[in-house]
Structure 1
Amino acid sequence: MKKYILLTLLITSLGFAQKTTLYCIGDSTMANKKDPDKNPEHGWAQVLQSFFKDNIAVVNKAQNGRSTRSFINEKRWDSIYNKLKKGDFVFIEFGHNDEKIEDPSRYTNPHTAYRYNLIRFVKETREKGAIPILLTSISRRNFNEKGVLVPTHGDYPLETRLVAQEYKVPFIDLEYYTELLEQSYGPEQSKLLHLHFKAGENAYYDKDKADDTHLSLLGATKIAQIVIDQIKETNDPLLNGLKKGIK
């Protein structure tokens, strides 16, 4: 299947809008982090604005710990929906916390609640004349003893792919591309994409840190670049929204 229109509309409308807002909704892998000058952890959408000119405003509403269920129940989606205007865009990347089966405030069955929450985001975004873009969850650094990267997201990425296909939603398969990224670095060097520090090695952590889910600045920047690369593959003029020299 083609990249679904992957941002054909995204790119085309940017040429006509004076200011286009690109909203990002999702979890901690995407979210802005406090103290970015000191904090080694970054969400990938936190660095996304640096790729775009001023005519595109990246508004990162992703929040640590949120699933599709809690993002909706806490009225975070409503606050975005009420501001959406024609020609805006919404990047949608959930899954990590929808998997939390021990937490009824966050868990969703991938084939029912998760699926229908994604459909709600898509339909309500379109109601406002804005463009939804679905993204699968980023891969975790989860290599087994043989050096094989083992998936951890179950059926959540599958449902994202199916919703994108059924509703003809622009789609970026971040799980796939971040698997390639992790594998290209390998079991040891891929720690650089995440948060691996010995106690005292980084002033922000007073204890050993070994986090294979969340991202370093390097990891966040690499994933933001993947998103940009997927936009550019469409050959449509969102390229007009990219800063000169962005490759």
Structure 2
Amino acid sequence: MKNKYILIVSWVFLVANFASAQQITIYTIGDSTMANKQNPEENPERGWAQMLPIFFNEDVVIYNRAVNGRSTRSFINEKRWEAVYNVLKDGDYVFIQFGHNDQKENDSKRYTNPHTAYRNNLILFVKETLQKGATPIIFSSIVRRNFNEKGTLIDTHGEYPMEARLVAKEFNIPFIDLQYLSEQLEESNGIEKSKELHLHLKAGEILYYPEGKEDNTHLSIKGATEIAKMAMMQIQQLDIPLAKKIRQIKD
């Protein structure tokens, strides 16, 4: 009886270890366009990383550490990166997307020069992720819905996406150009229909925004889902274990 008990315990231990070995953990770090939103039952806003669980199978665990209003500078200074770094382990992934708040020149706690502080903060994330045996993936910021009077979508990110691309190239890590992909998404929807990707609500339309809302930066459920879907389609093309954990994506 004792031997039978030992065999059962050993079998359970082996199964648990096998399941743990199959599991992949993703940490997402970034700003409000990526972050989880409170009160999802009432709030129509979503961060695109908030939608990732619907695209991965049960082998993937996602910890969304993106926070509204953060830049690379404030994310580091508030020790939010330290908290992620301390728990990173071999085989994990870190999705990195900053830029929207790094460009806020009137806020010394968030602003970073794209060619110096921003670049070096990204390098810090990358180097320390690699030190832990984890895989960093850099994403450029999603585009703002910023059409001019001629119907042309105008960039608002300046040099930040280029620096993100250059850091990824320098360290030979994956780079996913969400700015370009989201530009295509906005333009394909056109000036009016692209409003559905964001928060364009009339006064009294929903209780969460009784006075209405017009926001061309942050995402609706539809917008966040479309961005996450595009990101996953790009990851499927990479030669990394995570790509095999993505559910079949329907057009």
TM-score (norm 2): 0.90
Residue 9 (structure 1) aligns with: none
Aligned equivalents of 2:237, 2:243: Cα separation in 1: 10
Offset at residue 53 of structure 1 (A): 1.1
1:214 corresponds to which residue? 218
Deviation at 1:16, TM superposition (A): 9.3
How far apart in 2 are the matches of 1:22 and 1:139?
Answer: 23
* Closer, same or farther: CA 105–237 of 1 in aligned 2, 3 Å: closer
| Mapped pair 1:25 → 2:29 | yes
In structure 1, C-alpha distance between the alignment counterparts of 2:63 and 2:33, rounded to whole Å? 15
| Other-structure match for 2:156 | 152
Confirm or deny that 1:140 pairs with 2:144: yes
**How many residue pairs end up in the alignment?**
232
Larger C-alpha radius of gyration, 1 or 2?
2
% identical aligned pairs:
61
Deviation at 1:246, TM superposition (A): 2.6
Report whether the alignment pairs 1:174 with 2:178. yes
- 4+ runs of 1 displaced by more than 6 Å? none
Instruction: Give the CA deviation at 1:165.
Output: 1.0
From 26, 50, 56, give the equivalent of 1:52.
Answer: 56
CA-based RMSD: 1.4
Residue aligning to 1:63: 67
| Structure 1 residue 112 displacement after superposition | 0.3
How much has 1:239 moved relative to structure 2? Answer: 4.2
- What is the Cα deviation at residue 236 of structure 1? 5.7
1:91 maps to 2:95: yes
Query: 1:146-192 CA distances to partner (integer Å, 9 max, x unpaired)?
Result: 00000000110010011111111111000000000000001111000
Length-normalised TM-score, structure 1: 0.91
Q: 1:123 to 1:236 in 2, by over 3 A?
A: closer
Higher-RCO chain (CA-CA 8 Å, sequence separation at least 6):
1
- Partners of 1:106 and 1:60 in 2: how far apart? 20
Gaps of 5+ in 1: 1-14
